[in-house]
């Protein structure tokens, strides 16, 4: 079968690779749509395991069912997630599923930028969900990233009436804006350095958009009746963004650091200010079944609209073009690869 093989951000090759064979408890899925995630172009993270076939935001169709699988049949439309928890360890039992060792070691074979993939038995049990007829395959590529956003906002305790600042209006930032509005946030503000993204943030429901080269905290106060916000979500790894987040959060507020930095990055903390402002700093990683099921329902019912964020669609042979667009982060938002196009 054909697959787009990643060597680095500027070298993604269309190659012939072995067709996966499934065993008991497994599924063979025809990949219909696979989104390019911002993490796919994080070279510091990806290149150490290159060459490899990436792609984890997938939706497809079951074409073969392994022995012992009764929940799925050929022809079923499914979403499949790559990282799944064991649901048995102490982390999982405490609700901290994304700290589970199993979640950090599971994956499907080979990846979403291929014509077909094998879904291991544990992913069938803990990470495969049928797509409702109302959710298209393209919309299915948003299930995993929206699930991550849902989990992050739940951990951050975002509730109706909150004032929220989203720093960074890439695809994650836009979904945070849309989810916060859907959940009843009183006001949502958004920043970016890119006018194209700021326009997307405005169209996503942001009550005010702020050029990130300005004094963000001052602009937040100006737009929010002289007050800072009680929830700040950082969706970029630009060091200035963290400084802006610390300055923009109100007393007793919460900072959700949603985007991971390079492992060598160190960020100075204004500990005196954070201490006396009683600020909570939290992190969120990945998503599990409850988050993904909620994501599908929100997409199905259009409580969170996603299709307007799709700006480009490519076939497998054009995957390099998709990577170029996502890496540049200029005039694109969600880029989808369609392996059978």
Q: Quick one: how far is CA 262 from the chain centroid?
A: 17
Structure tokens, 252: 């007793």
Q: State residue 60's pLDDT score.
A: 98
Beta bridge partner(s), residue 175: none
Structure tokens, 174: 């836009």
Q: State residue 223's pLDDT score.
A: 97
What would the pLDDT profile of 278-303 be if each residue is shown by its tens digit? 999 999 999 999 999 999 999 999 99
Find out whether 149 and 164 touch, Cβ atoms under 8 Å.
Answer: no
Q: What is the mean pLDDT of the chain?
A: 97
Structure tokens, 103: 């979640």
Q: State residue 105's pLDDT score.
A: 97
Burial (Cβ within 10 Å: 0-12, 13-18, ≥19) of residue 34: buried
Coil/strand/helix, residue 151: helix
Its sign, for the CA torsion 306, 307, 310, 313, is: positive
Task: Mark out the alpha helices in 194-315 (DSSP H runs).
Answer: 195-203, 216-223, 239-248, 271-277, 289-300
What would the pLDDT profile of 119-159 be if each residue is shown by its tens digit? 999 999 999 999 999 999 999 999 999 999 999 999 999 99
Q: What is the pTM of this model?
A: 0.97
User: Residue 84 CB: number of other CB atoms within 10 A?
Assistant: 26
Q: State residue 242's pLDDT score.
A: 96
What are the residues whose beta carbons fall under 8 Å from the beta carbon of 257, sequence distance 6 or more?
234, 242, 245, 281, 282, 283
What would the pLDDT profile of 218-277 be if each residue is shown by its tens digit? 999 999 999 999 999 999 999 999 999 999 999 999 999 999 988 899 999 999 999 999
Q: State residue 44's pLDDT score.
A: 82
Coil/strand/helix, residue 61: strand
In order of their start, the domains of the chain are: 2-142+306-338 (3.90.180.10), 147-283 (3.40.50.720)
What would the pLDDT profile of 163-204 be if each residue is shown by its tens digit? 999 999 999 999 999 999 999 999 999 999 999 999 999 999
Q: State residue 45's pLDDT score.
A: 85
The values of phi and psi at residue 100, to 5°, are -65, 135
C-alpha neighbours within 13 Å on the C-beta side of residue 121: 8
């Amino acid at each position: 079968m054909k697959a787009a093989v990643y060597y680095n951000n500027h070298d993604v090759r269309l190659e012939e690779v072995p067709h996966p064979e499934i065993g008991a408890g497994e599924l063979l899925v025809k990949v219909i749509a696979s989104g390019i995630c911002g993490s796919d172009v994080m070279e510091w993270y990806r290149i150490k395991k290159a060459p490899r076939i990436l792609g984890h935001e997938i939706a497809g169709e079951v074409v073969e069912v392994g022995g012992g699988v009764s929940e799925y049949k050929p022809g079923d439309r499914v979403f499949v997630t790559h990282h799944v928890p064991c649901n048995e360890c102490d982390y999982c039992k405490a609700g901290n599923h994304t700290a589970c060792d199993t979640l950090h070691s599971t994956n499907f074979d080979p990846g979403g930028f291929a014509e077909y993939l094998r879904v291991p038995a544990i992913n069938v049990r803990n990470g495969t969900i049928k797509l409702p007829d109302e959710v298209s395959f393209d919309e299915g590529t948003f299930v995993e990233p929206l699930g991550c956003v849902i989990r992050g906002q739940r951990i951050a305790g975002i509730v109706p009436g909150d004032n929220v600042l989203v720093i960074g209006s890439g695809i994650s930032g836009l979904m945070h804006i849309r989810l916060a509005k859907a959940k009843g946030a009183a006001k949502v503000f958004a920043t970016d350095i890119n006018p194209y993204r700021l326009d997307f943030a405005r169209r996503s429901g942001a009550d005010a958009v702020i050029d990130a080269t300005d004094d963000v905290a001052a602009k937040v106060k100006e737009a929010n009746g002289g007050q800072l916000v009680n929830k700040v979500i950082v969706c970029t790894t630009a060091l200035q963004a963290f400084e802006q987040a610390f300055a923009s959060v109100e007393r007793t507020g919460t900072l959700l650091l949603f985007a991971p930095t390079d492992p060598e990055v160190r960020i100075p903390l204004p500990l005196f200010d954070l201490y006396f402002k009683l600020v909570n700093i939290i992190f969120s990683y990945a998503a599990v079944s409850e988050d993904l099921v909620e994501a599908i329902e929100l997409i199905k019912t259009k409580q969170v609209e996603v299709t307007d964020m799709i700006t480009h669609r490519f076939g497998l042979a054009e995957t390099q073009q998709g990577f170029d667009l996502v890496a540049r982060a200029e005039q694109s938002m969600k880029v989808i690869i369609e392996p059978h196009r």
